[in-house]
């Protein structure tokens, strides 16, 4: 291990966890690490420190659609488009010879494709487009079926959240206390202004507990699935307020929609 | 702000005390349980991990790549890899968020390096406008939101407790992926000095932040 001032291999644990060791030092340290449980614990602790560095950073929140995209990346299914873009960007450059060989191969393939006829190509594209549409419809149907199943579970109770607004927005809350989840369906709701969103609250032991943020679509509807229902205490009501898009830890505006949630 | 009494049907009421502080920490599955379920292909488990850690992964990616769309791609790739490799996750080597963070950092650095290579070749570097407000943020667990805010405050305090030189060394290593030799070159400082700075900074951060590690009690 080169260059001062390390008196012990353990001194390298912090830089190793940070990914800052030079290649030679990293190889030497890894050999030591493999046989030292103490060093493994040190590295694990410094990795926690490294992971926390990002927690202090200011950054915009990821877009809401990213969650659905992540859930579509189940192993064995096609990789998300984004993934392929990153991978392609990160791929090492090929040598000019390899590029030339690849280019001539691609030219031959293109020639062959034309020789096989344009109509076949068009048919394939149409089929692919229909497959994609069918896939989207099937995914939407699966989502609807899951919602329906959740609502039809024994013990699920429906509560109406009401308001005095004009036009009068409303919401239905389907609560499954046994499973600790709820579904919120809001309607006749105006879209929140830019940078704002609606936030659901539960009133637990007389105090508001923050839940999910959401926004209405262009038809005034909003659906929140898998809303965690607070555990313990007495949950006496649910309410909706308008808050900053990132949500609030305590309500900052008057209640827009509210409903009592009697347990029995 | 003063308390406001909201009367509900049936004689019940709630007190809407806008300035009140409160905490909520609904019990949830441990990260390890979620990893096991994710390894079995359970989508909800991955969703739960996403709800817990997407923000922090996005923050590290955004800090490195500097563009929101690229940062989101890094997060998507990170979860795709984590899902694929969930069965191989070894808890002894660190917590789930630490593992996810290192995947995200590595992918973000790869993307940045590839972009630098591309820009050198084409000299057509384009920069995007700064990020706008994020709508529809998925904040699914109020207890975790409270934890995250507290943790962010503590991390900032801990970083502020480092000397400027220590902070710079750590940030060059973590966000730019520089080795200690490269940092020494960049700063025109002796390598030994940089090594000492990195080590002492990380130790200091560890001392201040160990109560706030992501690792959850089982």
Whole-model pTM: value is 0.51
What per-residue confidence (pLDDT) applies to A97?
Answer: 57
Q: What is the mean pLDDT of residues B6-15?
A: 48
pLDDT in tens, B163-195: 999 999 999 999 899 999 999 999 999 999 999
Nearest to A249 among B95, B149, B202 (CB): B149
- Tell me whether residues B56 and A55 touch, CB distance under 8 A: yes
Q: What is the mean pLDDT of residues B55-74?
A: 89
- Tell me whether residues A209 and B114 touch, CB distance under 8 A: no
| Nearest to B7, CA basis, from A159, A200, A236 | A236
Tell me the CA distances in angstroms from B12 to A201, A224, A240, A250, one per residue in order: 16, 26, 17, 21
Instruction: Judge whether A256 and A240 are in contact, CB under 8 Å.
Output: yes
- SS3 of A126-173: HHHHHHHHHHHHHHHHHHHHHHHHHHCCCCCEEEEEECCCCCCCEEEE
Q: What is the mean pLDDT of residues A91-120?
A: 58
Phi, psi of B163 (to 5 degrees): -70, 160
Q: Name the DSSP letter for residue B91.
A: G
What is the band of B161 on the pLDDT scale with cuts at 50, 70, 90?
A: very high
Examine the pLDDT at B103 and tell me if it is beyond 50. Answer: yes
Beta strand B13-17 pairing with A222-228: unpaired
What distance in Å separates the CA atoms of residue B145 and residue B79, rounded to the nearest whole number? 20
What distance in Å separates the CA atoms of residue B119 and residue B105, rounded to the nearest whole number? 21
Chain A hits for B73, Cβ within 8 Å: 82-83, 85-86
Q: What is the mean pLDDT of residues A61-84?
A: 70
Q: Name the DSSP letter for residue B29.
A: -
Instruction: Judge whether B13 and B7 are in contact, CB under 8 Å.
Output: yes
Q: What is the mean pLDDT of residues A8-29?
A: 88
Among A169-178, B12-21, B142-151, where is mean pLDDT lowest?
B12-21
- Tell me whether residues A259 and B15 touch, CB distance under 8 A: no
What per-residue confidence (pLDDT) applies to B217?
Answer: 35
Largest CA distance in chain B: 74
- SS3 of A178-238: CCCEEEEEEECCCCCCCCEEEEEEEEECCEEEEEEEECCCCCCCEEEEEEECCCCCCEEEE
Q: What is the mean pLDDT of residues A124-131?
A: 74
Chain A hits for B211, Cβ within 8 Å: none
Q: Is A247 on the interface with B (CB under 8 A)?
A: yes
């Amino acid at each position: 291990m080169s260059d001062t001032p390390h008196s012990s291999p353990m001194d390298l644990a912090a830089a190793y966890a940070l990914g800052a060791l030079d290649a030679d030092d990293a190889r030497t340290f890894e050999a030591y690490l493999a046989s030292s449980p103490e060093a493994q614990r040190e590295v694990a602790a410094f990795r926690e420190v490294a992971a926390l560095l990002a927690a202090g950073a200011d950054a915009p929140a990821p877009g809401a659609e990213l969650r659905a995209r992540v859930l579509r990346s189940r192993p064995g299914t096609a990789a998300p488009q984004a993934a392929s873009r990153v991978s392609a960007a990160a791929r090492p450059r090929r040598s000019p010879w390899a590029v030339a060989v690849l280019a001539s191969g691609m030219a031959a393939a293109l020639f062959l494709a034309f020789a096989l006829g344009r109509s076949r190509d068009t048919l394939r594209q149409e089929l692919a487009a229909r497959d994609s549409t069918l896939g989207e419809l099937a995914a939407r149907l699966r989502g609807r079926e899951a919602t329906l199943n959740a609502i039809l579970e024994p013990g699920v109770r429906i509560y109406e959240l009401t308001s005095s607004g004009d036009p009068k927005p409303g919401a239905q809350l389907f609560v499954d206390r046994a499973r600790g989840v709820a579904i919120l369906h809001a309607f006749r709701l105006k879209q929140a202004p830019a940078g704002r969103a609606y936030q659901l609250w539960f009133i637990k032991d007389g105090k508001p507990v923050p839940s999910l943020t959401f926004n209405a679509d262009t038809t005034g509807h909003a659906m929140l699935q898998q809303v965690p229902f607070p555990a313990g205490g007495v949950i006496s009501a649910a309410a909706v307020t308008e808050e900053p898009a990132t949500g609030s830890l305590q309500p900052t505006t008057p209640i827009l929609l509210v409903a009592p949630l009697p347990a029995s | 702000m003063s308390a406001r009494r909201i009367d509900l049907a049936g004689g019940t009421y709630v007190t809407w005390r806008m300035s009140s502080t409160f905490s909520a920490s609904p019990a949830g599955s441990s990260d390890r349980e979620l990893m096991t379920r994710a390894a079995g292909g359970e989508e909800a488990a991955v969703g739960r991990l996403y709800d817990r850690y997407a923000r922090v992964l996005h923050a590290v990616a955004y800090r490195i790549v500097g563009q929101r769309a690229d940062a989101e791609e890094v997060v998507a790739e990170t979860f795709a890899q984590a899902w694929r490799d969930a069965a191989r996750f070894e808890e002894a080597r660190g917590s789930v968020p630490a593992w996810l963070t290192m995947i995200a950092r590595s992918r973000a650095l790869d993307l940045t390096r590839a972009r630098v290579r591309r820009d050198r070749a084409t000299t057509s570097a384009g920069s995007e406008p700064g990020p706008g407000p994020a709508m529809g943020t998925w904040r699914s667990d109020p207890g975790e939101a409270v934890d995250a805010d507290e943790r962010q405050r503590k991390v900032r305090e801990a970083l502020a407790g480092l000397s400027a030189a220590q902070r710079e060394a750590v940030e060059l290593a973590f966000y730019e992926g520089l080795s200690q030799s490269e940092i020494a070159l960049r700063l025109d400082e002796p390598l030994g000095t940089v090594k000492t700075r990195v080590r002492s900074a990380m130790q200091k951060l560890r001392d201040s932040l160990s109560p706030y590690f992501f690792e959850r009690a089982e």
